[in-house]
């Protein structure tokens, strides 16, 4: 059971869907993990590399006891873009501070992720 399986939701918040995919922070690196999209936020658990917190900064990194995950409030998202290549299907999120956060499904369709975030 991962940290996102134990995530507490606000009374007016709903889980929309989740996917296993790669997270690519603006400062570099690739992290395999699980993205959970809710009606209020996006939460990403880098299941196989805990160094992601040092790359993205403390503002979006949430610690709960010994576990930690990336949390992006929907209110901070200023732009959502989809980029598709033969071996790379990505959603790029630009936040209110100008930072860009990329979620990559590889060869799998990115459309369900984009739809859950609200692009399509």
pLDDT, one tens digit per residue, over 72-94 is: 999 999 999 999 999 999 999 99
Query: What percentage of the chain reaches a pLDDT higher than 70?
Result: 81
* Domain regions of the chain by residue span: 3-117
Can you give the pLDDT at residue 2? 74
CA angle 27, 9, 60 (to 5 degrees): 15
Can you give the pLDDT at residue 6? 79
How far is the C-alpha of 70 from the C-alpha of 87, rounded, in Å? 25
What fold is seen in the domain 3-117? PH-domain like (2.30.29)
Token couple for 106? 């590889």
Residue 71 in contact with residue 43, Cβ under 8 Å? yes
């Amino acid at each position: 059971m991962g940290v996102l399986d134990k995530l507490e939701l606000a009374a007016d918040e709903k889980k929309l869907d989740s996917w296993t995919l790669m997270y690519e922070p603006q400062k570099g690196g690739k992290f395999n993990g699980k993205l959970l999209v809710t009606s209020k936020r996006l939460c990403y658990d880098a299941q196989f590399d805990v160094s992601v917190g040092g790359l993205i900064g403390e503002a979006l990194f949430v610690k709960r006891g010994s576990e930690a995950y990336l949390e992006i409030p929907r209110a901070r998202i200023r732009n959502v873009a989809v980029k598709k290549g033969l071996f790379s299907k990505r959603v790029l999120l630009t936040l209110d501070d100008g930072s860009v956060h990329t979620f990559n499904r590889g060869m799998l369709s990115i459309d369900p992720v984009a739809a859950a975030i609200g692009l399509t």
